[in-house]
Amino acid sequence: MRRLGRSVRLAPLIAAALAAVIATTPSPAKAPSAPRARAAATDRPIPCGAEVFPQFPEEVYAQPARRARPAFSPHVGTREALWTYNYRTSQYDHVDFTCRAVDKHCAILVADSAAGKITDTEIIDITDRFERRAPGHEIGIYDVLSQTFAQPDTVLGDPRIYIALTTIESNYDGGFIAGYVTAGDRLARSANSKSNERHLIVLDIGHGWPIPRSAWVTFRQQTLTHEFFHIIHNGIDRAEDGWINEGIATFSQTLCGFDGEDGEEYFKDTGVGLIETSGDLPSLADYDKSFLLIRYLADRYGDDFVGDVARSPAHGVGSVDGVFTAWHVSDRFRTNVFPAWAVANLARPGTDPVYAYKTYDPLVHQPAKFGDVGSVPIVRSNISLSTYGVHYLCAGSAAEGQIAYPTNSGWAVESVIQQDGSVRLVRPWYATSPGMARDCSPTAAWDVIAASGAPGTYSLTLNAPSMLLPTVAARTPIGTGVSAYQTEVRTQFADVDPTWQIDVSLVSERYGALDRTLRIDREPLAGRCGVNVTVSDVTGTPLPPADVITVHIGDVRGPFGSFLPSTDASWQFTTDTADTQPPQVTIGILANPVLRERLTALVISNEPLHPDPDGPVRLAVNGTETVPLTAEDATGQHWIGTFAVSAAGQYDFLVLAADVAGNPVAPHTARYVVTIGDGGVLARRADGRQRPMREEGTTR
Amino acid sequence: MRRPMKRLTAVAAALVIAAGGCDQPLSSAEQVTRLTAEGWGQFRVGNYAGAEDCFRRAAAVNFSDPEVQLGLGWALLEERMLGDAIIALARIGPRDPLYPHAQAGLAIAADASGRFDDVIPAAEAVLAADSTYTFPYDSSIDWRDLTFLLAKSYLVLSPRRDPTLTQTTDVLRRIDLDPPLVPGNPATWTANGLQWSTLAEAALKRLEATQAAISSAVP
């Protein structure tokens, strides 16, 4: 058996080698490899032995010959020897069978050695279920699956389904293989000397499995359904990956009214990947996982979706994604299906269209202490995870932790809370850097690590949460006599829940609630569970003067659910009295001593100047032109303008500006009148030379 | 188009001089010397356009001659082509004997352009080289003008560069006829016989008074 993620596909090579052997020697075909030992330790039957048989090259199946013997119309009582696979010896046994029943689509053959173990009633039950009435249906298994997937094709001209009941020999202590189908039986004996040249389903007659006989009868019919899907599928996509092959075969059981797999074996080993191609016998966990994935696909996208996957000529994940494409659905298996399925395994059925099955309840099939990783602190290093393996971890208490996993691996890491049977994705593990994430779960959460990408190892640490109470980091203004004109109300909180919305309002003692514009800025997480939040009043107009302003802050929640005490969040300050004093300015005009028409205006104010309603801070020249003034520093009290005058004469300069309260510059200081001589502000030089004033651009 | 035409004019003029002035054609150095002298002559009589023309012709013969660039820069300065003047004057390096004269022009051009940060190093370079500096081609421009520009720039930039006005008052002291302004002594913050509430206001008014005074001083 191979799983997704390995780089070399061995099965086709093995099959090619087998074909070469088959073509050059009349000896029996080489038997498949022995089943893996890990599948043996079970007290439950292996549901299907089909995956052990290697695939033959596709061209070998193109056998137009019509089978000569046995006849296409078997008769009850006819005896013949068939090749059955012995999983104990890894060889084929030649076993005598007698035909016990013939119906419209099937014939029942019973091994002579097992003749006394199958009653006629049981044989009738088999044919009845297969031909006429699957549980809960008005039609038989044959028609249910034929209508859902495809009509079975013919083998060497024979469309009939032969159901052989015998003892399937295996070496499983306490367990057995319930049935199998091999595509090798579709071949002519000239290509496969051990071929039975027909659609042949081999069912175990039942070892000493301690269940009531009636249950056995049902189980046998269920296995028949499973194997009949393989018969159909071998005719349309026999090289399909094992997880889809076995998953849909088991899903077929449910379509026909039987049970699927219960998932218990999977939940004992959720790290298994997806079985890709045949070769070894899958584990019970493999069968469970394959079924659960197909069950989930059917629940989320419908039975028809699974039918299209079965009919798709593509294989594995490509088959699923190909159907998505054909259905014009943007979802993809790796990113949308597998991670969500991993989470759905923690939910009661029907609780969510994405993160739950419709009817299957995984929780009742999970072992005690499923996912329990003990109590914090937990440190796990270099844990391996197969491609499409999943690890479920639950510390049982709130935890703050960190996980390091392969960079660009495509892994999905989710924090999940179970609540009343449903699941809720909580804030994900925050990606703090490539391949590094941090858990800030506010309550006990499951961590679901789904390796929907390359295999790799991860390391995990979980610690008791630090609680991280939100704190007030800074606030302005505070105290009394606060300038109503220059104050910017601002408060900062640290360790706030990143998603928490903070309500802020400013209330005046004199006017009630104030209509202010408040901006809330959140810093990036930067590897922490909580963020820093800054609330700023950006209204741009003054606060009411001579007033008591209360800044009301609503609840501020920390990342683990604790709240900042409201008494810490809100505060008061008192604004100063109204500013009615106009700014006083001093104006100076300084000339360039050589280029004397070039002047510099320097305005010094006793308080910061601001634009007035008509424009920026400026200097009006003779009431006609204006010179923009620029602040030399942030105080707004030192303003400069450079300009030129074109002629001598008296100049009237007027500063146009206001203070923060809107008071215009005091008129008696705003005006400055100066006489500029023909030589500029500077007087004529003693040597009698005079520098004429010139306008720039007029010299050439 | 102006520059190439001037260059052609300068070449033509040089050819005329060479062909008609002497039996022997003038060497390049002689041409530059002659054009430079003519340029300064034009400058002295206030014909700055004529001066620029001479210096451009000289530059066509030897562009890297420092005196040619100095003359060109000053001519352009007087013509209020401040950007071009600054470019020409900045071509003269600090090791050149003409460097103080170039820096004097740069200080004046920078002040007229409102680039007060550039005034300070230029004016300080001139005064460091010669505390009684006089521009040789226009004696009306001397150390008082540069000291005034320096004090003015310090005052304009005082919020950033001289918040205590120490440098402003130090420089102002060199040209101010009134008792010195003492930053720590508000009693000295007077100008024009008035008491000012801030040292900056007092310095501003002292400078206003000084600019008239220095311009009336006899060089």
Q: Which of A12-21, A276-285, A371-380, B185-194 has the highest mean pLDDT?
A: B185-194
The Cα B26–Cα A116 span in angstroms is 137
Q: Which of B77, B113, B207 sits opposite A590 (nearest CB)?
A: B207
Average pLDDT over chain B reads 88
Question: Are B7 and B111 contained in the same domain?
Answer: no
What does the pLDDT look like over A102-145, one tens digit per residue?
999 999 999 999 888 889 999 999 999 999 999 999 999 999 99
- Of B159, B201, B215, which has the smallest distance from its Cβ to A635's Cβ? B159
CA distance to A424, A490, A500, A529, A563, per residue, from A557 (Å): 20, 19, 7, 12, 4
pLDDT at A424 over 90: no
Claim to verify: residue A570 and residue A590 sit in the same structural domain: no
Q: Which of B69, B91, B113 is the last residue of a domain?
A: B91
Question: What residues of chain A lie within 8 A of the CB of B133, using their CB?
Answer: none
Nearest-CA distance A672 → chain B (Å): 13
Q: Does A678 touch chain B (CB under 8 A)?
A: no
Do A434 and A479 belong to one domain?
no
Does the structure show a pLDDT above 50 at A6?
Answer: no
Closest CA to A636 of A611, A663, A599, A607: A607
Contact A297, A309 (CB under 8 A): yes
Average pLDDT over residues A453-479: 82
- pLDDT for residue A694 is more than 50: no
Nearest to B140 among A589, A592, A689 (CB): A689
My answer on whether A567 and A620 are in the same domain is no
- Asked if A638 lies within 8 A of B159 by C-beta distance, the reply is yes
Q: Which residues of B touch A683 (CB under 8 A)?
A: 212, 215-216
Residue A465: asked if its preceding bond is cis (omega within 30°), the reply is no
How far CA A483 is from CA of A534, A661, B218, in Å, comes to 21, 10, 54
pLDDT > 70 fraction of chain A, expressed in percent and rounded: 81
pLDDT at residue A25 is higher than 70: no
Pick A430 or A690 by higher pLDDT. A430
* CA atoms in the 13 A half-sphere facing the CB of A26: 0
Q: pLDDT tens digits, residue range A254-286?
A: 999 999 989 999 999 999 888 876 566 788 889
User: Of B112, B196, B201, which is closest to A592 when you measure between CB atoms?
Assistant: B112
Residue A356 lies in a domain: no
Whichever domain contains A376, its CATH number is 2.60.120
Residue B173 has pLDDT above 50, yes or no: yes
| pLDDT attached to residue B38 | 97
| CA–CA gap between residue A547 and residue A489 (Å, rounded) | 14
CA distance B29 to chain A (A): 29
Q: Can you give the residue range of the structural domain that contains B183?
A: 93-219
Of A439, A463, A487, the domain-final residue: A463
Contact B149 A683 (CB under 8 A): no
Distance CA(A490)–CA(A539), nearest Å, equals 12
Residue A298 lies in a domain: no
Instruction: Determine the structural domain holding residue A388 and report its residue range.
Output: 368-463
Please give the tally of structural domains in chain A.
4
Contacts of B82 in chain A (CB under 8 A): 696
Q: In this structure, are A12 and A65 located in the same domain?
A: yes
Identify whether residues A31 and A120 lie together within a single domain.
yes
Share of chain A above pLDDT 90, in %: 50
Predicted confidence (pLDDT) at residue B46 exceeds the cutoff of 50:
yes
d(CA A693, CA A645): 8
Residue of A nearest to B197 (CA): A606
Nearest-by-CA chain A residue for B215:
A685
Encoded tokens for A87: 């999983």
pLDDT in tens, A537-576: 999 888 999 999 999 999 998 877 788 887 888 899 999 9
Q: Cα–chain-centroid distance for residue A285?
A: 24
pLDDT of res. B35:
97
Taking the CA atoms of residue A298, residue A302, residue A303 and residue A307 in that order, the dihedral angle to the nearest 10 degrees is -90
**pLDDT tens-digit map of B61-120:** 999 999 999 999 999 999 999 999 999 999 999 999 999 999 999 999 999 999 999 999
Say how many CA atoms lie within 13 Å of A350 toward its Cβ. Answer: 1
pLDDT mean over B24-36? 90
The mean-pLDDT minimum among A4-18, A85-99, A149-163, A488-502 falls in A4-18
Alpha-carbon Rg for chain A in angstroms: 43
Q: Which of B108, B157, B208 lies at the smallest CB-CB distance from A592? A: B108
Q: What is the CATH number of the domain that holds A543?
A: 2.60.40.10
Cα end-to-end span (Å), chain A: 94
Q: How many helices (H) and strands (E) does chain B have?
A: 11, 2
Q: Residue B200's closest chain A neighbor by CA?
A: A604
Mean pLDDT across A200-221:
83
Among positive and negative, which fits the CA dihedral B183, B186, B187, B188?
A: positive
The CA-atom distances, in angstroms, between A523 and each of A497, A498, A536 are: 12, 9, 14
- Identify the domain boundary among B91, B126, B151: B91
Q: Out of B66, B91, B116, pick the residue that ends a domain.
A: B91
Contact A139, A257 (CB under 8 A): no
Structure-token match 């399909």, residue found: A240
Print burial letters for A593-615: b (CB count within 10 Å at least 16), e (below 16): bbbbbbbbbbbbbbbbbbebeee
Q: What's the confidence (pLDDT) of residue A65?
A: 63
Determine contact, residues A565/A555, Cβ cutoff 8 Å: no
Identity of the residue in B114, B208, B211 whose CB atom sits nearest the CB atom of A593 = B211
- Reported as a single tens digit per residue, the pLDDT across A53-62 is 777 777 777 7
- Are A410 and A548 part of one and the same domain? no
Residues A135 and A153 reside in one and the same domain: yes
CA of A592 to nearest chain B CA: how many angstroms apart? 6
> Is the same domain home to B204 and B140?
yes
Per-residue pLDDT at A452: 80
Give the torsion sign (CA, A664, A585, A592, A676). positive
- Looking at the structure, do residues B9 and B22 belong to the same domain, yes or no? yes
Is A593's CB within 8 Å of B49's CB? Answer: no
Residue indicated by tokens 């009411």: A544
- In what helix (H) or strand (E) does residue A248 lie, and over which residues does it extend? helix A242-255
Provide the sign of the torsion angle of the four alpha carbons A693, A601, B90, A698, taken in this order. Answer: negative
Q: pLDDT band for position A301 (50/70/90)? A: very high
A47 and A150, same structural domain? yes
* Same structural domain, B204 and B141: yes
Last residue of a domain, one of A532, A548, A575: A575
Q: Please tell me the least confidently modeled range out of A380-384, A504-508, B195-199.
A: A380-384
Which of A592, A639, A690 has the highest number of chain B CBs within 10 A, making it the mutation to test binding with B?
A: A592
**Cβ within 8 Å of residue A230, ≥6 positions away:** A48, A50, A181, A245, A249
pLDDT exceeds 70 at position A29: no
**Residue B219 pLDDT > 50, yes or no?**
no
Say what the pLDDT of residue A63 is.
61
Report the CATH number that the domain containing residue B49 is assigned in CATH: 1.25.40
β-strands A106-111, A161-166 pairing: parallel
- Please give, rounded to a whole number of angstroms, the shortest distance from the CA of A658 to a CA of chain B: 19
d(CA B152, CA A307): 90
Is residue A247 assigned to a domain? no
Residue ending a domain, choose from A518, A553, A575: A575
Q: Are residues B124 and B209 in the same domain?
A: yes
Kindly tell me if the per-residue pLDDT of A492 is higher than 70: yes
**Hey, are the CB atoms on B212 and A699 less than 8 Å from each other?**
no
Q: What is the amino acid identity at position B77?
A: L
User: Both B106 and B211 in a single domain?
Assistant: yes
Distance (Å) from the alpha carbon of A699 to chain B's nearest alpha carbon: 5
My answer on whether B17 and B97 are in the same domain is no
Name the B residues in 16-45 with CB < 8 Å from any A CB. Answer: none
- Is A132 a member of any domain? yes
Asked whether residue B108 falls in the same domain as residue B214, the answer is yes
Q: Determine which helix (DSSP H) or strand (DSSP E) holds B149, and give its type and residue range.
A: helix B143-156
- Total tally of structural domains belonging to chain B: 2
Q: Among A602, A697, A700, whose Cβ lies nearest the Cβ of B156?
A: A602
| CA nearest neighbour of A290 among A205, A210, A226, A237 | A226
Q: What is the DSSP string of A155-180?
A: BTTB-PEEEEEE------TT--B-EE
In this structure, the answer to whether residues B70 and B40 fall within a common structural domain is: yes
CA B85 remoteness from chain centre: 10
Choosing among A586, A589, A590, which should be mutated to test the B contact, i.e. which has the most B CBs within 10 A? A590
Closest CA in chain B for residue A691: B46
Same domain, A455 and A482: no
Note whether B78 and B109 are same-domain residues. no
Q: Give the gap in angstroms from C-alpha A563 to the nearest C-alpha of chain B.
A: 46
pLDDT at B145: 94
Residue A496: which of A444, A555, A581 has the closest Cα?
A555
Banded pLDDT at A684 (limits 50, 70, 90) = very low
Do A204 and A168 touch, CB atoms closer than 8 A?
Answer: yes
Residue A531, pLDDT score: 83
pLDDT at B214: 65
On chain A, the residues whose CB falls within 8 A of the CB of B160 are 632-633
List pLDDT tens digits, range A524-538: 765 567 788 999 999
CA distance A209 to A43: 8
Q: Which of A585, A587, A594 to mutate to test the interface with B (most CBs of B within 10 A)?
A: A594
Q: Determine the average pLDDT of the residues in A206-235.
A: 86
**Do residues A94 and A185 share a domain?**
yes
Residue A306 lies in a domain: no
Chain B: residue whose CA lies nearest to A642: B114
A402 versus A116: the higher-pLDDT residue is A116
Candidates B154, B204, B206, B218: best to mutate against A (most CBs of A within 10 A) is B204
Give yes or no: residues A427 and A493 share one domain: no
Peptide bond into A362 cis (omega under 30): no
Contact check, Cβ <8 Å, A600/B152: yes
CA distance A596 to B77: 12
- Same-domain pairing of A555 and A670: no
Tell me, yes or no, whether B126 and B209 share the same domain. yes
The pLDDT of residue B21 is: 40
Candidates A644, A648, A646; CA nearest to A684 is A648
Enumerate the residues of chain B whose CB falls inside 8 A of the CB of residue A691. Answer: 140
Q: Is B86 on the interface with A (CB under 8 A)?
A: no
Based on the domain organization, do B37 and B118 belong to the same domain?
no
